[in-house]
Amino acid sequence: MSLPKRKLASSLEVSAIGLGCMGLNFSYAPFPEKKEAIDLMRTAVAEGISFFDTAEVYGPYTNEEIVGEALAPFRNEVVIATKFGFNIVDGKMLGVNSRPEQIVKSVEGSLKRLNTDVIDLLYQHRVDPNVPIEDVVGTVADLVKAGKVKHFGLSEAGANTIRRAHQEFPVTALQSEYSLWFRRHENDILPTLDELGISLVPFSPLGKGFLTGKIDEHKEFLDGDIRKMIPRFTTEARVANRALLDALDTFAAQKNATTAQLALAWILARNPHHVPIPGTTKILRLKENIGALHITLSAAELEELNTLSDTINIMGDRYHEAAEKATGL
């Protein structure tokens, strides 16, 4: 099957919706068996998805191995993005680390686990305040020259960091959280991306699952599910935040769509260079997400959704305090 294409920074062509692979074995327990995860990714390819996102820290390491195995038969047909930027010691993530030698080590490991000769899109996972972004970019530029990386991106970086990085080497994409219930990047980051010709790859475009409408105050999160620790997912917050879902339910019904499809369609309609990467462990939800590509929002409908989102106060931070401080925003 063929899906509409979009270009990241007018150079890297991908399907208009990608697949975030993190939840297949990291952060959102319970996890599918490895065979199910591989089947899901191969179904995604059959459905027309060509853009897959992973990172060395997911697992750590094991997510890249699953992605590499699943996509090996289709390597020339797909774009694989992965990330560096953390210390990983004895299977635990211990702070950021983007020193040049660590970047090189991370890339060599990712290439082996992904079973590939080149990484299509390499992100700095989080800004390292102890390493000048110019040193980070210079190291990645060397990896591009060596043929081990094709494109460079940033994740959760602020506008100033994006500008400094782009002056040294073209930044293809910024991967950051963006959805109908988290729009802070519209203040300065999205205008910066538009000015510089950098694309946005929104992660958590469905609000870590909340915008699917399947998570209510009775949902119990298992150990291994990060939402158990996130302020926005306390029982009280879920009750309060239902106001947004109720409004979206009404709007989605008018479009003969699910709230998840509406949330993705909103992102797609905002900018032709936005490529959301919703994650899922279920083939049914995968196909539902792809269905968002068939929903057209007029300028008036888009503005109505913007206003709706603006006027509903969302309770709870998107991360606990320490995790929020680890971003470069």
Q: Where are the domains positioned within the chain?
A: 5-209+270-294
What is the Cα–Cα distance from 216 to 219, expressed in whole angstroms? 6
What's the CATH architecture for 5-209+270-294?
Alpha-Beta Barrel (3.20)
Catalytic entry in 58, 61, 123, 319: 58
In whole angstroms, how far apart are CA 205 and each of 52, 106, 110, 179, 277? 15, 27, 25, 5, 7
Instruction: Please give the average per-residue pLDDT across 41-45, as a whole number.
Output: 98
pLDDT at 20 over 70: yes
As a whole number of angstroms, the distance between CA 189 and CA 327 comes to 14
Query: What average pLDDT score do residues 38-51 get?
Result: 98
Q: Write down the pTM of the prediction.
A: 0.96
The yes-or-no verdict on residue 34 having pLDDT over 70 is yes
pLDDT in tens, 267-315: 999 999 999 999 999 999 999 999 999 999 999 999 999 999 999 999 9
Q: Which amino acid is at 206?
A: L
Q: Does 61 qualify as catalytic in the annotation?
A: no
Asked if residues 269 and 297 have their Cβ atoms less than 8 Å apart, the reply is yes
> In the predicted model, what is the mean pLDDT of residues 245-258?
96
Are 130 and 328 within 8 A, CB to CB? Answer: no
Q: What is the pLDDT of residues 192-201, one digit of tens each?
A: 999 999 999 9
Q: How confident is the model at residue 319 (pLDDT cuts 50, 70, 90)?
A: confident
pLDDT at 92: 87
d(CA 278, CA 204): 6
Distance, C-alpha 8 to centroid of its chain: 14
Digit-coded pLDDT (tens) for 63-83: 999 999 999 999 999 999 999
As a whole number of angstroms, the distance between CA 35 and CA 4 comes to 28
DSSP state of 24: G
